[in-house]
Amino acid sequence: MSQHYQVLARKYRPHTFSEMVGQTHTVKTLINALDADSLHHAFLFTGTRGVGKTTIARIFAKSINCEAGVSSKPCGKCPTCIEIDQGQSVDLIELDAASHTGVDNMRVILENAQYMPTKNRYKIYLIDEVHMLSKSSFNALLKTLEEPPEHIKFLLATTDPQKLPVTILSRCLQFTLQKLTHEEILGQLKFIMEAEGLEYEELALGQIADFGNGSMRDALSLLDQSISYGNGTVMSKDIKAMLGLVHHDDILSLATHLFNQDAEAVINFVKELSHKGEDLSHALKDLTSLFHQISIAQIIDNTQISNDIKALATQISNQDLQLFYHMAINGSKDMPLAPSEQIGFEMTLLRMLAFHSQTEVLAEKKTPKLAEKPKAKTTPKAKPPVESKPKNLKKTKQDTPKETLNISSQQQWEDLTKSLKFNTASRMLLKNTLLDSADNQTLILNLDEQFSNLLTDNIQRAIQTVLQENFGKFTLQINLTKLTTQTLAQKETQANNEKMAAMQKTFMKDEGVQKLQQTFNAKVDINSIKEIGNV
């Protein structure tokens, strides 16, 4: 590293709106306002750290003071643009509210606001972490916000907008910046590594993106650290060693032990992780993330989901999985209170085992019955012979005749699938089958090849058990093939998509929505429209 080395977060800070990663809606609104030269006097940018609040504010400052004119595309070459990029503009006053909380500081600053800019079009006040100002400072700021000079623009940024007085909020255009997605951060990390000409593994960058937790700055700081640790490379093994991460395959193995109710294997596994010095709090977080992926695999068909996760999705009910996820979240909260990290992790896993829906049944099977005391033998007395009379025997449940499995069409098969009480994994498989044929002896189904991971012995036995309980004994045969006709799952997906499209169309036709779009030059995120019950 040279003595002039610049950290990645500063070196690759965006200088134009087109270089911004994420925050599409905020950027588009600002671009439209700049190009139309329709500018409010005060803007408030809110969001967690490292999502681009200050960066957007500086780009906006360049856009309104660029010597080429007000536009969404500052030239970046004029003295004003260069000065703002280098933090040397006399007309861009950047304040850290945490160190200027006093009312006297704020009054001095605002008294100078009445004077014209030294050399630029506007005098801009960029106040970071504005929620840290005192009540008196807010009152002083409010007076200027109410009647600002035409040459003044206020750009406020905060991570905690709830602490701002309503009087301040009502006088600003507020933009809420969202956490960046995993894909957005990963794409930028790959771009930087390629621009720097450094070797990397995409899996390693993915782990860094995960640890960024929606913050580009945090991810870039970790990337800087990783490059130093790996001597110019970013590899998965180095990330694992640097952060104390547990390998993904180990988390899959742990989940398998849990789903199999193998308590001894679970405890031994945790001891092994602890002995190797693994970070168990991260291991629990990774396990929680795995539960989320498995839950998605149980509900939707996604080709990007690995076969390992799809296989695990068939080994646990959705109800148990939701319970495990809830326990893992609570376990993460309890971990700092436990006597040790290992004990906290073990107790969380044991809690999952204890509340598994099959635990009670397994316990009953494993509990040995006490031997009954032998009864004293007695010599039976002779009974006089009686005539044998026919008895009206009451039919037991087992004697009740079952229906014959009488279906001959796909629709009948789909109706039957909906009516019988199959478990989650079985129902998922059956919804993706087509009826081939059925008679009193054999039921033959065709399953699309892409769902071959669902076709396990356990699931087939579960399906056959339910069917035989209702229709008596017969043979179940499921063939893997390439289907060309719609299955029940595909019909349900199509129906849901059509329902969603109709709902979105109705929403977009609403007069109130259309008026909001016209007034604020806004655009509706069509994917955010949900039914109230499904939010």
Q: What is the pLDDT of residue 311?
A: 85
Give DSSP secondary structure letters for 329-395: HHHHHHGGGSSSHHHHHHHHHHHHHHT-TTHHHHHHHHSPPPPPPPPPP-PPPP----------PPP
Residue percentage of the chain with pLDDT more than 90: 22
Is the pTM higher than 0.85? The answer reads: no
- Round to whole Å and give the CA distance between 60 and 68: 14
Q: What is the pLDDT of residue 438?
A: 85
| 419-424: Cβ within 8 A, 24+ apart | 420/466, 420/467, 420/470, 421/466, 422/462, 422/463, 422/466, 423/317, 423/462, 424/298, 424/317, 424/318, 424/319
Q: What is the pLDDT of residue 155?
A: 92
Q: What is the pLDDT of residue 371?
A: 41
Q: Report residue 400's pLDDT band, with 50, 70 and 90 as the boundaries.
A: very low
Q: State mean pLDDT over 272-292.
A: 86
Q: How confident is the model over 152-163, as pLDDT tens digits?
A: 999 999 988 888
Q: What is the mean pLDDT of the chain?
A: 82
* 394: Cα within 13 Å, side-chain hemisphere: 2
pLDDT exceeds cutoff 90 at 146: no
Q: State mean pLDDT over 136-141.
A: 83
- Round to whole Å and give the CA distance between 81 and 66: 6
Q: Report residue 382's pLDDT band, with 50, 70 and 90 as the boundaries.
A: very low
Q: Report residue 303's pLDDT band, with 50, 70 and 90 as the boundaries.
A: low
Residues 6+ apart with CB under 8 A from 53: 45, 46, 47, 128, 157, 158, 177
**Higher-confidence position of 505 and 243:** 505
Share in percent of the chain as helix, strand, coil (round to 5) = 55, 10, 35
Pairing of the two strands 442-448 and 433-438: antiparallel
Q: What is the pLDDT of residue 245?
A: 67
**Higher-confidence position of 104 and 8:** 8
Q: What is the pLDDT of residue 519?
A: 79
Q: What is the pLDDT of residue 357?
A: 67
Q: What is the pLDDT of residue 376?
A: 44
Q: What is the pLDDT of residue 78?
A: 92
**Higher-confidence position of 511 and 370:** 511
Q: What is the pLDDT of residue 367?
A: 42
Q: State mean pLDDT over 54-76.
A: 91
| 485-490: Cβ within 8 A, 24+ apart | 485/410, 485/434, 487/431, 487/432, 487/433, 487/434, 487/448, 488/414, 488/417, 488/418, 488/430, 488/431, 488/432, 489/301, 489/428, 489/431, 489/432, 490/432
Q: How confident is the model over 435-466, as pLDDT tens digits?
A: 998 887 788 999 988 888 778 888 888 888 88
Q: What is the pLDDT of residue 273?
A: 84
Q: What is the pLDDT of residue 291?
A: 92
- C-alpha distance across the termini of the chain, in Å: 49
pLDDT exceeds cutoff 80 at 366: no
Q: How confident is the model over 178-208, as pLDDT tens digits?
A: 899 989 999 999 999 999 999 998 888 988 8
Q: How confident is the model over 223-237, as pLDDT tens digits?
A: 998 998 888 899 988
Q: State mean pLDDT over 377-405.
A: 45
What are the structure tokens assigned to 124, written together?
A: 């801009």
- Round to whole Å and give the CA distance between 287 and 325: 9
Q: Report residue 101's pLDDT band, with 50, 70 and 90 as the boundaries.
A: low
- Round to whole Å and give the CA distance between 128 and 347: 43
Q: What is the pLDDT of residue 138?
A: 85
Q: State mean pLDDT over 337-363.
A: 79
- Round to whole Å and give the CA distance between 59 and 478: 61
Residue 222 near residue 211, CB atoms below 8 Å: yes
Q: Report residue 81's pLDDT band, with 50, 70 and 90 as the boundaries.
A: very high
Three-class HEC string of 65-123? HCCCCCCCCCCCCCHHHHHHHCCCCCCEEEEEHHHCCCHHHHHHHHHHHHCCCCCCCCE
